[in-house]
């Protein structure tokens, strides 16, 4: 039977399998009723031609970059027409990108951690802090208000969908706020001079205490020298005393003691003291009355 010539009809397009996963093999098919038979060409949305045969095109191992809109164009000498389909490729989340705003976090301020990942289906985001098993928050953005020093540390963002999951980590560092820094500076400015003055007073007190104790030691030393050793330079010089007895009976009973003056001519000169004792006269009636007279001793230092 003779068929009249005709331009291609609207093409029928399909994809197999219907649910496309990254890494799998995928075939695009296009067919159209035309007389004479149509020529088929596949194009991606950017009009990049895909070379196939008989209206089919095969992806041996499809990737996430292959997703998009595809067109099948049918053409013969009587006309040209095309149809399109959307190729949806599912894949696990790519490595998440994480950031902190602001980059320098002051204590008492607010900070937002952001996480994003390319995934199909769309990823769900969960935030964790290092060494803590329970999640801190969920969602693409994690905001901390009234930041404190204990908030410092590493935070990881997990992006997950039905095809898999990926994690990335960001460090959060908390620095003292401007008010606290100023207060710390003022405190340091006040405390440092006070500490310095305290140290100076302590040193002065210690020196005064040491100085007041030295004369006592000196006094003791002088007492020891006077008691038996004499002056330091004369400690090794022997001293003697000479005793003279007087037979003068007319004199009352006395002891004349003369201490020898030290000679300064030479360090080797020996010092003497002359001591005289007067013998008492025979007692008479007059002298008995004076029996209670005191006994004196005189010391004459010889020159």
Q: Bridge partners of 106?
A: 175
Same fold? 12-90, 97-175:
yes
Residue range 207-262, pLDDT digits in tens: 777 665 554 444 454 444 444 444 444 444 444 444 444 444 444 444 444 444 54
- The pairing of strands 164-172 and 153-161 is antiparallel
Q: Which two structure tokens, joined as six digits, stand for 154?
A: 């590493």
CATH of 12-90, one of 3.40.190.10, 3.20.20.140, 2.60.40.10, 3.30.1600.10: 2.60.40.10
Question: How many Å apart are CA 170 and CA 153, to the nearest integer?
Answer: 9
Task: Give me the pLDDT at residue 50, please.
Answer: 84
pLDDT digits (tens, 9 = 90+) for 18-35: 999 999 999 999 999 999
pTM across the whole model = 0.52
Q: Cα separation of 69 and 86, whole Å? A: 4
CA distance linking residue 145 with residue 124, whole number of Å: 23
Domain boundaries, the chain: 12-90, 97-175, 238-298
CATH number of 97-175: 2.60.40.10
Average pLDDT over residues 83-98: 95
């Amino acid at each position: 039977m003779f068929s009249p010539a005709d331009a291609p009809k609207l093409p029928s397009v399909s994809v197999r399998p219907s649910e496309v996963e990254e890494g799998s093999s995928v075939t695009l098919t296009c067919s159209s009723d035309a007389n004479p038979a149509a020529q088929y060409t596949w194009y991606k949305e950017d009009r990049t031609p895909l070379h196939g045969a008989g209206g089919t095109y095969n992806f041996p191992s499809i990737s996430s970059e292959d997703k998009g809109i595809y067109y099948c164009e049918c053409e013969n000498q009587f006309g040209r027409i095309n149809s399109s389909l959307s190729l949806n490729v599912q894949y696990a989340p790519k490595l998440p990108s994480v950031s902190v705003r602001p980059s320098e976090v002051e204590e008492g301020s607010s900070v937002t951690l952001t996480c994003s990942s390319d995934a199909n289906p769309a990823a769900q985001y969960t935030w964790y802090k290092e060494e803590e098993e329970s999640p801190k928050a969920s969602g693409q953005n994690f905001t901390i208000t009234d930041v404190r020093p204990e908030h410092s540390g590493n935070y990881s963002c997990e992006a997950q969908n039905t095809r898999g999951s990926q994690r990335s980590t960001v460090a959060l560092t908390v620095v003292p706020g401007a008010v606290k820094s100023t207060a710390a500076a003022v405190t340091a400015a006040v405390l440092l001079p006070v500490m310095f003055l305290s140290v100076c007073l302590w040193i002065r007190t210690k020196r005064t205490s040491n100085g007041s104790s030295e004369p006592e030691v000196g006094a003791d030393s002088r007492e020891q020298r006077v008691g038996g050793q004499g002056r330091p330079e004369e400690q090794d010089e022997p001293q003697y005393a000479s005793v003279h007895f007087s037979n003068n009976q007319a004199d009352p009973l006395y002891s004349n003691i003369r201490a020898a003056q030290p000679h300064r001519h030479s360090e080797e000169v020996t010092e003497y003291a002359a001591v005289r004792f007067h013998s008492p006269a025979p007692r008479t009636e007059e002298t008995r009355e004076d029996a209670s007279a005191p006994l004196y001793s005189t010391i004459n230092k010889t020159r």
